Structures are given as C-alpha cells and as structure tokens.
Homo-oligomer: A and B are copies of this chain.
Amino acid sequence: MKDYIKVDEWRIIEEGFKPEYNTISESIFSLGNGRMGQRANFEEAYSGETLSGNYVAGVYYPDKTRVGWWKNGYPEYFAKVINAANWIGIDIKIGNEQLDLARCKVSAFRRELNMKEGFLRRNFRATTAGGIEVEVEATRFCSIVDDETGAIRYTITPVNYSGAITISPFIDGDVVNKDSNYDEKFWDEVTKESWADGGYVQLRTKKTGFEVATGQRFTVSQNNLPVDIAAKKVEKDKYVASAIILEVVAGQPITITKYAANISSQNYPADALKEVLETTLKTISEKGFEKMLAEQAEAWEKKWQHNDIIIEGDASAQQGIRFNIFQLNQTYTGEDDRLNIGPKGFTGEKYGGSTYWDTEAYCVPFYLATADQKVTRNLLLYRYKQLDKAIDNAKLLGFRNGAALYPMVTMDGTECHNEWEITFEEIHRNGAIAHAIYDYVRYTGDEKYLADYGLEVLIAIARFWSQRVNWSDDRQRYVMLGVTGPNEYENNVNNNWYTNTIACWCMQYAIDVAEKVEAMEPAKYEALMNRIGFDKENESAKFRDIIEKMYFPYDEKLGVFLQQDGYLDKEQILVNDLPATERPINQKWSWDRILRSCYIKQADVLQGIYFFEDKYDIETIRRNYDFYEPRTVHESSLSPCVHAVIAAKLGDEARAYEFYLRTSRLDLDDYNNDTEDGCHITSMAGTWMAVVQGFGGMRVKGGKLSFNPFLPAKWKSFSFHVGFRGTLLNIRMGKEGVQIKNLSGNELTVTIYGKDQIIKANNELLVEA
C-alpha cells in the first residue's frame, strides 16, 4: 500500500519526482476517451523505469499461445489490444543534452490529473548533467469530443541557458508489447510521410491486418509569439519526427502545441486513412488547443452531471469514487458495439484488453444507471454479434444443436484463454451474459430487445446448460461435474452451487422469454424458431425437467448452500484465525494448498444470492453470509463490492462500509502492489455498486426504482445520480434523511424504504431516514 497521492476532491496529484513509483503513476494518471487511450508516459525521453502504452480500442493482435502443456481444445492464440504508435513524443535537446528526467536533477515535479475537466498536467524543473536548468509544463488530453484525437501543449523555459534548443515532435510506431509471448513486434509499416508542420505513420497489424494512421501537426511559439517552423525531417522505420532548432534566451518560454490523431481501418477504408487523418488534424488544429480543452471540460461537465457521486465529510473517499467513475468513463463510452471493457482499460497491457464476464456482472449495473441505455445495449449487442463464434466454441468442446459457450476471454468472440480449469470449466460466464440481458430489460423495460436479439442468445445458452449437466443414476438428480465457479480458488469441482443455480435460472428465463416473445411478437418469434430450429415443446420440457430435478448441494445442519460437493470436508479455519504472515494466500501458498483450503477468493454462493436475492428469505441470506464471509479472503478486487451490497441489505452498515473501503482507493493507494500493470477498471464499477446498491440500497423491482439508503457513520452525506427510463434523479442521503431530486420533466414513482413516493417533474422530496 502506497500513500503518495495527494487527497483532493477533483484532482489526482503527485508531488515530487518518485521514479520508483513511475510505472504506478503512469497507470493512475492514464487518459482515455473510449476510442483510444494511453498511460501517463512522459512526452520527452525517459530512460528510467517506464511501461510505454498507447492503445487504439478494438485494434488487436492474435499472439501465439504460450503454454507449458497443451490440452485439446486450447486456442491457437491470445488476442490482445496492443501497444500502438506513440503519438505523445516530443524529444527535447538543449544544446547537446537530451532532456531525460532519469538523468537530471528534478525539482518541483508535479503531476495532476484533472478529473473535472479531463486533462493531465505535468510541471517540473530539471537540471541536466551539464548544469542547464529548465522549467516545463505539459498539458494533454484525449478528446472526448473529437474522439480520434488528442492534443498536447508543452512549454519549456530555459532558466539559466541561452542557445540552441531542438524540439522534435515525433510519431513512433516501432513499439513493443511487454507481454508479447514470443518477443515479436506486432506492427508492420504501410507508409509514412513528413510534412512541414507534421507527419504520419500508417501501420498494419500482423495477421489481423488492422491499419491505423497516426499523425501529428504542431505549432511552435517562442516567448509567446508564433514561430515559422523550419524543421528537419527525420524518418526511421515506423517513425517520423521533425527536428526544430530554436535559438532561445534564458527566461523566455518556448511552447509546442501538438495535435494528434489515430485513424483506424475499423472505421474507414484503409486507403482513405491518410485523407481522414489530414482532415481531422486540420480540423482540430484550426479549432486550437484552448478551444479543444474548453470543449473537453464542457463535455466532462455534462458527464459528471449524470454520474457524479458526491461524498461530504471524506475527501479521500470523494477522490476515490470520482477516480473510479472518471476511469470507467474514459474506458468505455458505449458508442460502438464492437468494443468492450478490458479489465485494465487503456491503462496497461495486462489481460490483453480483452473482454471478461466482469463486463456483464459488474459493469452493466454502472452503465445502466449512469449512461444512456444504448450504452448497455451496445454491450449486449457485442455478445449478440459473437453468438456464432460462441456456438463454434461450444462445438469444439463437444456440444451440439446450437448450444453456445461464450469465451472466458475474448476480443472478437473467439476464445483466447488457455488454462483448462478456466477456459473449459469456468462456464458460469455464460450465466452472467444471460443475466445482463435480464438486468438490461428489467432496468430499461426494453422488451423489444428480447424479440430482436435477446431470445436467440438465451436459447443458445440454455441449450448449453441442458447439455452440460448429466443425469446421475446414483443421486437420481441432474448434476454438473467439473466446473470452476466464480471462486477461482477451487478448480474442477462438482456441483458448484452458483453454477447450478445460474444454469437453472438461464433455462427458466429462456422459457419465460420465449413465451413472452411468442405472445408479443409472434412473427419474429416464428422466424427465429425456424432459423435456430428450436423445438419448443421438447427442448423446453427438457429444460424444465432439469430445473425440477437439479441437484443443489445444501447442508441441512448449517442451513447453508454448499459452494460445491465436499466443501465441508475441508479444514474449516476462518480467515481471522489465519496468521497474517500467510496472506495473501495467492502469494504465500502453492496452488494445491489454496485449492484444498476452505478459503474463497471472491463471492461465489454470495454472488448467486446477490444476483437472485428475491428468491431467498432474509434469514437464508444471513446464514449464508455469516457462513461464507469469514471464509473469504477477497483476493479478487471483484469480491468486496458484492459483500458490501449484501452486508448493507442485512443492515450490517459497519461491515458494508469496510467492504467498500477495500476497493474504493485500490489503485490510488496501490493496495495490491500491482497498479503498475494498470488500473482495475472493471472492479471500479464494483465500488460504484457498493455505494449505490449498498449504501443507497438501490434496486429495480416491478419496473420501479427503489432505495433503502443509510449513511456511513464517517460521512456527512453522499449523493448520486441515477438515470431511469428517461428520468434523471439525484439521490442525496444526509443526516436529515433522503432527498430525491427529479431533474427531468416527467414525474416518477420510486420506492423509498419500502414506501412508494411520487417525485414530480423538476421537483424534490425529502424522506426521513
């Protein structure tokens, strides 16, 4: 755990140069706009520890699988969003010395991520080995207005030096991925060009053939007056730069303003990229840095109006939750149904920028409440479009008749992961994908989605489950063998309660939705049934038979659902009785020891209870919570949020707050010593969940929003925005009670503490706690 980030409600601030934390800061101060993103690398050269990262959403490379021992069914490659051309680079030479903070004496270093307005600013003073002192301010952002672009304003002022300074803005596509399996480079050069005031490189990914044109235009001023640029063009493999030599006088600033853009063949024909790039660069450079920055602030303000959470009385918590919301919005904007949310977003290479079940299980609730419904709809469509590949994937594993198994990790629908116990067995992901459809329809009321897309996915998933179970003659029950549940500290278990539960739920939901669609849109229903050859009578009967005769491990004595067969055979030493020196067990224990222990990495039975809470009475929930929580080590960042929501439901406010704390500043405090790899983007949605569903007690039931808020003891108040079916609400929980503002022009009935309340258009209401 680190503690070097200054607390500020709207800004993330690092003061003083800490090269030892640089890769952590590069993650935390990352920028993104849903379309592209980057780590907070320095513009000028840096020979110290750094992980260079620029990413273009959806542009990936299928890296050849690396594996110790091959198992049948493993994929040939792991698709990863790859390090793309570095467009921030500005090389600085003062006299004969290259500016490189690793080789300078650095003072007054400050890095600031302004979350309110969406930019990154860095200031420092540096003294070179030769004794030259300069002062620098660099401001940059990825535009959320023109989302293929970014801009940088870089001002350098020589303090004690007059003479030549060479400024070389560059585009460098000769980059590597640290996580490349075989030390390959992933890009080939297509073409490049230098202009008087800029240049570009067009690259093509190997194998996948994506092309991206990355270009720059720049202006230079000296002592605040524009300078005519007479640049020397420098070209290398996949690299263009323009070296501009200026004679400077001590104390007079030089500013280079650099406009950049990434234009991808995902969106334009490859042969049009150059033209689009030139037009784009022209547009933004004519708009100018100041105007772009102002538009950026305005656009972020709009976002914040809809999804800010305000915490009074705890600046550190305030900073933490805003950072999470900010990063989620930087990562995914929901405008493109080919994109999804990598666990690290644009902040690092880890997990390859691919899609996991995190999206459906943790991110969907956030986007449903804080963004237009089309955002979540696009996340669902992403999976809909990959249905054929999910069916192919299931075929590979021996399933038939249109059964679909969505991949554990994917970019384009093809499975990428290669650990048998995960790839082939952590199949509950299929359930989360079905559940997200349910969640979306429950929240938005958009039942038309079911007829158009949802049902087809649901039937394919239900078919999978119906084939994945088998009849046990011995038990006279259906069983599900050889799975890995959400708790990955158990592998290849039989009858994981969560998986059996969500499997049956999926089959029932598919039956229900089929009936609904048949009644609602008979023609569409008919067409779909013909297309996918669904034998409603027999297949539904099969589903029902399984639902009815499914085996669920349960302990009568304890009155708890058993995580899986044999769970009670384990030595039951509670986490509290485990010496601190043994934790985290994933660093201290060999894998077999973890597996045969009773310790739970992340909510498993409780994940099921979280998803389907209405099926269980409060005492059942309490017994399971009381049993499982003390056995849970929460070594996944996706665990505490579910516990927070359940603890809140059970009225255990103190524990709910504790769980919230465990992830609220996960990256800002580098709690798990791994932020250097990137930020935990998807678990940030979990933190939001802990506040809104936990402290706010928000649910959707019977087409209505309901709240059951409590105020954590340390806070004066908290408030959040929620959009629901066209109405925007602000809910503020303070000592005086719950205040609900309706910011829209239509009235809405919501349930507060179990009682329906009508909130008039543009009006507000206070309910005492």
**Residues in A lying within 8 Å of B, measured CB to CB:** 65-69, 71-73, 396-398, 418-421, 424-425, 470-475, 479, 481-482, 491-492, 494, 565-566, 568-572, 586-596
CB contact under 8 A between A586 and B472, given known A398-B593, A565-B566, A569-B481: no
Choose one: B475, B570, B590; the contact of A72 (CB below 8 Å): B590
Choose one: B69, B72, B479, B492; the contact of A587 (CB below 8 Å): B72
CA distance A112 to B534 in the complex (A): 63
Find out whether the CB atom of B472 lies under 8 angstroms from the CB atom of A419. Answer: no
- Nearest neighbor of A595 in chain B, beta-carbon distance: B482
Find out whether the CB atom of B424 lies under 8 angstroms from the CB atom of A591. Answer: yes
Closest 8 CB pairs of A and B: A73-B590, A424-B592, A474-B568, A482-B596, A71-B591, A67-B68, A481-B596, A472-B569
Find out whether the CB atom of A592 lies under 8 angstroms from the CB atom of B73. Answer: yes
Find out whether the CB atom of A494 lies under 8 angstroms from the CB atom of B568. Answer: no
* A594: chain B residues within 8 A (beta carbon): 72
Q: How far is the CB of A354 from chain B (nearest CB, A)?
A: 14
* A474: chain B residues within 8 A (beta carbon): 568-569
Q: A481-B595, A481-B596 are in contact. List 11 more A-B contacts (CB 8 A).
A: A66-B66, A68-B418, A72-B589, A72-B590, A72-B591, A73-B590, A420-B591, A421-B492, A425-B592, A470-B570, A492-B595
CA distance A470 to B573 in the complex (A): 12
- Nearest neighbor of A418 in chain B, beta-carbon distance: B68
CA distance A470 to B425 in the complex (A): 26
Find out whether the CB atom of B398 lies under 8 angstroms from the CB atom of A590. Answer: yes
Find out whether the CB atom of A73 lies under 8 angstroms from the CB atom of B569. Answer: no
* A425: chain B residues within 8 A (beta carbon): 592
Find out whether the CB atom of A592 lies under 8 angstroms from the CB atom of B66. Answer: no
CB contact under 8 A between A492 and B494, given known A71-B590, A73-B591, A475-B569: no
Find out whether the CB atom of A419 lies under 8 angstroms from the CB atom of B566. Answer: no
Find out whether the CB atom of A471 lies under 8 angstroms from the CB atom of B67. Answer: no
Choose one: B65, B396, B475, B566; the contact of A481 (CB below 8 Å): B566
CA distance A72 to B589 in the complex (A): 7
CA distance A571 to B424 in the complex (A): 19
Choose one: B398, B418, B481; the contact of A570 (CB below 8 Å): B481
A-B CB contact pairs (8 Å), 24 listed: A66-B66, A66-B68, A68-B419, A71-B590, A72-B586, A72-B594, A397-B590, A397-B592, A397-B593, A398-B590, A398-B593, A420-B591, A420-B592, A425-B592, A470-B569, A470-B570, A474-B568, A474-B569, A479-B569, A481-B566, A481-B569, A482-B592, A482-B596, A491-B492
CA distance A616 to B363 in the complex (A): 58
* A494: chain B residues within 8 A (beta carbon): 566, 569
CA distance A511 to B492 in the complex (A): 35
- Nearest neighbor of A473 in chain B, beta-carbon distance: B572
- Nearest neighbor of A593 in chain B, beta-carbon distance: B398
* A482: chain B residues within 8 A (beta carbon): 592, 595-596
Q: How far is the CB of A422 from chain B (nearest CB, A)?
A: 8
CB contact under 8 A between A571 and B418, given known A396-B590, A592-B424: no
* A572: chain B residues within 8 A (beta carbon): 473
CA distance A586 to B420 in the complex (A): 14
* A396: chain B residues within 8 A (beta carbon): 590
* A72: chain B residues within 8 A (beta carbon): 586-591, 594
Find out whether the CB atom of A68 lies under 8 angstroms from the CB atom of B71. Answer: no
Find out whether the CB atom of A470 lies under 8 angstroms from the CB atom of B571. Answer: yes
CA distance A262 to B302 in the complex (A): 79
CA distance A72 to B67 in the complex (A): 16
- Nearest neighbor of A568 in chain B, beta-carbon distance: B474
CA distance A421 to B590 in the complex (A): 12
* A397: chain B residues within 8 A (beta carbon): 590, 592-593
CA distance A69 to B71 in the complex (A): 14
Find out whether the CB atom of A471 lies under 8 angstroms from the CB atom of B571. Answer: yes
Q: How far is the CB of A180 from chain B (nearest CB, A)?
A: 14
* A475: chain B residues within 8 A (beta carbon): 569
* A418: chain B residues within 8 A (beta carbon): 68-69
* A586: chain B residues within 8 A (beta carbon): 72
Choose one: B69, B492, B570, B571; the contact of A492 (CB below 8 Å): B492
* A596: chain B residues within 8 A (beta carbon): 470, 481-482
* A595: chain B residues within 8 A (beta carbon): 481-482, 492
CA distance A296 to B644 in the complex (A): 78
* A588: chain B residues within 8 A (beta carbon): 72
CA distance A571 to B480 in the complex (A): 11
Find out whether the CB atom of A589 lies under 8 angstroms from the CB atom of B398. Answer: yes
Q: How far is the CB of A514 from chain B (nearest CB, A)?
A: 28
Max count, chain B CB within 10 A of own CB: residue among A72, A470, A491:
A72
CA distance A641 to B475 in the complex (A): 34
- Nearest neighbor of A478 in chain B, beta-carbon distance: B569
CA distance A494 to B567 in the complex (A): 10
CA distance A586 to B69 in the complex (A): 13
CA distance A73 to B593 in the complex (A): 10
Find out whether the CB atom of B568 lies under 8 angstroms from the CB atom of A473. Answer: yes
- Nearest neighbor of A425 in chain B, beta-carbon distance: B592
